[in-house]
Amino acid sequence: MRPRHIWSIFTVCAVVVFITLAWISTMLLQLDEAELLARQHNALEENVRLALWRMDSILSPLVAQENASPYFFYSSFYPIQRAYTRMFAEVKRGEILMPSPLLTQPVPEILLHFQFSPWGKLSSPQVPRGNMRDLAEASYLKGDQIEKAAFQLGELQKKIVYRDILGKLPPMKEEENSSPVVLEQNLNSFNQSQSPSQSQSTKSAASWEARNKRYGREAEQNIQSKSIQNRRYDPIFFSDNVKEEMFFPLWVGEDLFLVRRVSLNGESYLQGSWLNWKYIRKSLLEDAKEILPEANLVMSNSSQERKKNMLATLPITLVPGEILSEPIEFSSPVHFSVLAAWICVIFAIIAVIILLIGVVSLSERRASFVSAVSHELRTPLTTLQMYTEMLSEGMVSSEEKRLRYIQTLREEANRLGHLVENVLTYARLDGQRAKRQIESVSCQEFLNRCEPSLAQHAKRSGMEWIVEVDEKTLSQQIDTDTSMVGQILLNLVDNACKYGKGESDYRLIFQMKAQSKNLFISICDHGPGISPKQARRLFKPFKKSAIEAAHSAPGIGLGLTLSRRLAQYLGGNLRLDTQLTQGTCFVLTIPWKSGQ
């Protein structure tokens, strides 16, 4: 299979894997987000229920207290001796008056208590009139309190109309009229609870006791006869025919009221409380701020069906506010799993890419090796076979030709041996099986070992061999593998002989110089040089194709690659000197001690 086919298949598989994993990750993140929103919604609903319970707990005592207030509390003062009997009748001289709690005990949640008489007259127990006001100012209230209540009563008169309020109330339930009952026991207990300070005088108390006995006997007779004709007597011991409804909350504009009907002896009164909506709203929201910081309270129409998040006590709807989305936590199990899956997939793809690069590179190297070596092996083998057959069959009669053929066979054998040696050495380095044989020699001894073969190879190729080494360098001691260094230098000289012949300058200069902790060896020719494009692929193995091998000097493009790897294996390096403008110069760097 060709490399491009491998990459095409891998690309398609990688795209499919990425698309699938992206879809799965998106679904998982959406499910996790939906679960998070559901948890937040459930928490919000729970907080709303808790806030409604708290608000109703605050408002319930207020509404219960208003429902528990008897009808006569809506008079500034009421006579306590009558005991629920004709409490709205004119006060007679000598009666003991009790101030209404609505007058003396105002609450901040209520701006004003008010009452509409059957003929539509608006009054308030907090705004006493005439002698009642004098009594209130003298014993119970300050004048500015009454003035403030009077002002609020005037404002209230502008806001509500008797008939409009009456029309918003639900229809009154039909109940049987209850007959009057005598409250003698209540009156007796009341007389026993009177303190001396409440009696005007001993004489009036005795007179009151006498009246009590006289009217008690008459009331007892009326009970036995169950007749109501005795109303011609003073009805102080008879209760009024009273029907009190529960307070009904309603909105008039932006004001909230509690209103009820009171039927007293067939006459209908309207009693109510003007609630302090701003104060109530502020206190309720302050109490719920801990669990619902963005909450708000709005009015609801009490005539409609009960709405969601509506209080049970008053027509008020709780608006919980926007759901505060929590930031996405990457430490959650879902996000961690998705991130781990992506990391694993990315690492797997990287590993597959590295493996494919290695496989493709190996495949390309094999193809390049076969392409380059096929020509380099075929040429010397063909020459060897042809010249050997000619010599063995006696086809060469001239001694001069025979010697020339033998020399050619020797050169081709050396060429073939050099090629095979480079390939085997490269294979050993590629498999990390090569071993260094480190020995300590002087630069002079090293030069004596390798220089003759290099000079002979250069002279056979028609090059002029020149050695430039100073005395200081020759005296230096070096620890390295001299055979590997010699193979590197032989490859460099062989390349210079193949490609470095100039038109007129055939010099091949060998330089060796000691500097710092390294030994620098350079081999320079004066040929056509190397172009920048060729320099980029100079040290890559098997970069010579069969066509290039056929139309260029012999070689498979392995010598420079092998030389650099050998230099690096010894701890040094091999580089091309790019500062030269003419010719080619390779510089080999060898450390003084290559190590084991």
Q: Which residue has the higher pLDDT, 455 or 92?
A: 455
Q: What percent of the chain has pLDDT over 70?
A: 77
Distance from C-alpha of 132 to C-alpha of 453, rounded to nearest angstrom: 141
Please compute the mean of the pLDDT values over residues 521-545 and round it to a whole number: 78
Phi, psi (degrees; rounded to nearest 5) at 268: -100, 130
Largest CA distance in the chain: 182
The pLDDT of 43-50, averaged and rounded, is 89
In the predicted structure, residue 381 carries a pLDDT above the cut 60: yes
CA angle 346, 351, 356 (to 5 degrees): 125
Distance in angstroms (rounded) separating the CA atoms of residues 101 and 36:
53
Gap between the Cα atoms of 294 and 317, Å rounded: 14
pLDDT beyond 60 at 234: no
Lowest mean pLDDT among 10-14, 89-93, 335-339, 489-493: 89-93
Q: What pLDDT sits at residue 33?
A: 83
Give yes or no for a contact between 563 and 497, defined as CB atoms under 8 angstroms apart.
no
Q: What is the mean pLDDT of residues 296-304?
A: 74
CA distances from 93 to 84, 97, 505 (A): 18, 10, 151
- What's the rounded mean pLDDT across residues 281-286? 92
Q: Does the pLDDT value for residue 388 go beyond 50?
A: yes
At 195-222, the pLDDT tens digits run 333 333 334 334 434 544 444 444 444 4
What per-residue confidence (pLDDT) applies to 58? 92
Q: What is the domain partition of the chain in residue ranges?
A: 183-238, 361-591
* Of the ranges 88-92, 191-195, 258-262, 456-460, the best mean pLDDT one: 258-262
pLDDT of residue 37: 83
Task: Output the CA angle 379-381-386, nearest 5 degrees.
Answer: 95
Q: What is the pLDDT of residue 359?
A: 79
| 182 secondary structure, DSSP code | B
Comparing 224-233, 488-497, 576-585, which segment has the lowest mean pLDDT? Answer: 224-233
Lowest-confidence pick of 49-53, 279-283, 292-296, 321-325: 321-325
pLDDT attached to residue 151: 92
Distance CA(292)–CA(271), nearest Å, equals 35
pLDDT single digits (tens) 402-424: 888 888 888 778 777 777 777 77
297, 317 in Cβ contact below 8 A?
yes
The pLDDT, as a whole number, for residue 53 is 92
Q: Work out the percent of the chain whose per-residue pLDDT is above 90.
A: 14
Q: How confident is the model at residue 533 (pLDDT cuts 50, 70, 90)?
A: confident
Count other C-beta atoms under 10 Å from residue 197's C-beta.
5
Q: What is the mean pLDDT of the chain?
A: 77
Indicate the burial class of 271 (C-beta count within 10 angstroms; 0-12, 13-18, 19 or more). Answer: buried
- Give the pLDDT score at 9: 84
Q: Give yes or no for residue 238 having a pLDDT over 60.
A: no
- Rounded mean pLDDT, 139-155: 84
Q: Distance between CA atoms of 205 and 198, rounded to whole angstroms?
A: 10
> Which has the minimum average pLDDT: 189-198, 288-297, 453-462, 544-553?
189-198
How confident is the model at residue 257, as a pLDDT?
Answer: 93
Determine the average pLDDT of the residues in 124-129: 89
Question: Per-residue pLDDT tens for 314-358?
Answer: 999 999 887 555 555 556 787 778 888 888 888 888 888 888 887
CATH number for the domain whose boundaries are 361-591 = 3.30.565.10
For helices 277-288 and 3-68, the axis angle rounded to 10 degrees is 130
pLDDT value at 71 more than 60: yes
Residue 569 has pLDDT above 70, yes or no: yes
State the sign of the Cα–Cα–Cα–Cα dihedral 377, 378, 383, 388: positive
Residue 532's pLDDT band (cuts 50, 70, 90): confident
Position 2 confidence tier, pLDDT thresholds 50, 70, 90: low
Q: How far apart are CA 340 and CA 330, in angstroms?
A: 11
pLDDT at 454 over 80: yes
Please report the pLDDT score of residue 198 as a whole number. Answer: 37
CB neighbour list of residue 249: distance below 8 Å, 6 or more residues apart: 63, 256, 257, 258, 259, 302, 313, 314, 315
- pLDDT value for 502: 66
At residue 116 the predicted structure's pLDDT band, cuts being 50, 70 and 90, is very high
Asked if pLDDT for residue 550 goes beyond 80, the answer is: no
Over residues 363-372, the pLDDT tens digits come to 776 766 666 6
**SS3 state at 149:** helix
Q: By the 8 A CB rule, do 324 and 353 touch?
A: no
Interatomic CA distance for residues 62 and 60, integer angstroms? 5
In which element (H, E) is residue 524 found? strand 518-525
Q: What is the DSSP string of 401-464?
A: HHHHHHHHHHHHHHHHHHHHHHHHHHHHHHTT------EEEEHHHHHHHHHHHHHHHHHHTT-E
**Does the structure show a pLDDT above 70 at 186?**
no
DSSP 304: S
Give the per-residue pLDDT at 373. Answer: 63
Mean pLDDT of the region 154-170? 87
Give 370's Cβ-side CA count (13 Å radius): 5
